[in-house]
Structure 1
Amino acid sequence: MDGTLVDTEPYWIDTEFELAARHGGRWSKEHALNLVGNSLIESGRYIREHMGIDLEPAEIVEQLLDGVVARVEQSVPWRPGARELLEALHQADVPCALVTMSYRRFVDPVLAWLPEDSFRAIVTGDTVSRGKPHPEPYEKAAAMLGVRPEDCLAIEDSNTGARSAESAGCTVLVVPNHVPVLDGPGRVFRDSLAGLDPAQLAELRGVS
């Protein structure tokens, strides 16, 4: 979701700097970008260590969510072509799953801006035991859709997310955003989702 459907990374980064200022910590844009694609609890551990604040990782996550949810409730920064592609997939009756390491209380305000049946399955970071880059999130999403991961196309914007989808067996459409993504045997790259349709996605997977 973050970085592919919506460009909320700036919301997270701004909230991280606010957290550092509020608790007397230190932070940098480099540290912030190191968190892109990570599970929230892992990000909380990283922030505790590198920001140098005396909060437990779970409390750090909750404070981050407070700040980001407040921003999303005011405005959702959609990625180019994302909503249009999602609508086209829905019209073509292609089952879609949302696979994000954000928690459900952050996901819900974003979903509120979309048609209710946009996703047939939703996997969030607080519903898996092992987050990205482990394959569990994408394996769970495929199972919820009733399909094999090998029959799925994942859309990702980070190395962490791409590794998760790739290791589950998915073909990965990489649309880089805030961080560069490495090449890989199961990855195809595009600069944007704008102009893509379901038939083109099928071609990317090598199916008709």
Structure 2
Amino acid sequence: MTSSIPAVATRTAEDATLQAVFLDLDGTLVDTEGFWWEAEAEVFAELGHILDDTHRGVVVGGPMTRSAGYLIRATGAEIGLAELSGLLNARFAARIAGGVPLMPGAHRLLAELSAHAVPTALVSASHRTIIDRMLHSLGAANFRLTLAGDELARTKPHPDPYLTAAARLGVDPARCAVVEDTMTGVTAGEAAGCRVVAVPSVLPIPPAEGRTVVRSLEEVDLPFLRSLITESRGGVY
């Protein structure tokens, strides 16, 4: 995939170390993929359609417009994309009003990155209103930057979200680590030229060159993330 967002110029070997960490939200830091599916199932039931699990594998990790558009086509529901997106966001927002559960290892990882002053960005396909609600559980101070799916013309699986985050932080995408839970997000991170850590939530993600697959955020810490960059640069620190 191509993008009109310019990448930051490559830096010297002396700088070849981890410059920033980009974290996905739903299914990566917070255990909410099930909440989204429940919201979608409830809304479509009210529209007279029953969703089965075959649809879940398609909509997980995607931007709202893609997921909602797919479900309209798959069910034949008589509703517009904008109206459905509004209903789904409202239903999901109601579910997370009391806070959201963090994924195992998320709190410890955020605290570690903050303690070491590692520039950290939250890069999500969710809308800004949803992100801001979840930041109450995650701690807004843990992030140098947050980027929502409705703030860009193109979101994941395009590389634009991660290229935008890198440009705004003034870092080289090749020296940034991305942590994602879906193939949609993994594709975006890899297309941006970042080193990607996949922590599969709903669907499995196969290993690939330049991609590390782990079972949980409990396996991810700062030394581990730093090693991804130094290894890709021939061990230069």
| Separation in 1, partners of 2:97, 2:179 | 24
Residue by residue over 1:20-72, the C-alpha shift from the partner in whole angstroms, topping out at 9 and shown as x without a partner, is: 11111231112022111211111111011112211111211111111111111
Contact 2:123–2:161 (8 Å) recurs in 1: yes
| Alignment partner, residue 143 of structure 1 | 167
Q: TM-score, normalised by structure 1?
A: 0.95
Equivalent position to 1:93, from 93, 117, 131: 117
RMSD of Structure 2 on Structure 1 (CA): 1.3
Matched, 1:114 2:131: no
Deviation of residue 127 (structure 1)? 0.7
| Greater relative contact order (CA < 8 Å, ≥ 6 in sequence) | 2
Contact 2:99–2:134 (8 Å) recurs in 1: no
Task: Work out the percentage of aligned pairs sharing the same amino acid.
Answer: 38
- List runs of 5+ in structure 1 lacking aligned partners: none
| Separation in 2, partners of 1:183, 1:115 | 31
Bigger CA drift: 75-84 or 93-102? 75-84
| Separation in 1, partners of 2:146, 2:197 | 19
Contact 1:26–1:52 (8 Å) recurs in 2: no
| Separation in 2, partners of 1:71, 1:26 | 20
Contact 1:16–1:32 (8 Å) recurs in 2: no
Equivalent position to 2:41, from 17, 25, 37: 17
- List runs of 5+ in structure 2 lacking aligned partners: 1-24
| Alignment partner, residue 31 of structure 2 | 7
| Separation in 1, partners of 2:41, 2:140 | 33
| Alignment partner, residue 92 of structure 2 | 68
**SS at 1:80's partner residue?**
coil
| Alignment partner, residue 32 of structure 1 | 56
Q: Which has the larger radius of gyration?
A: 2
Deviation of residue 184 (structure 1)? 2.1
| Separation in 2, partners of 1:132, 1:195 | 25
Contact 2:125–2:155 (8 Å) recurs in 1: yes
| Separation in 2, partners of 1:195, 1:168 | 24
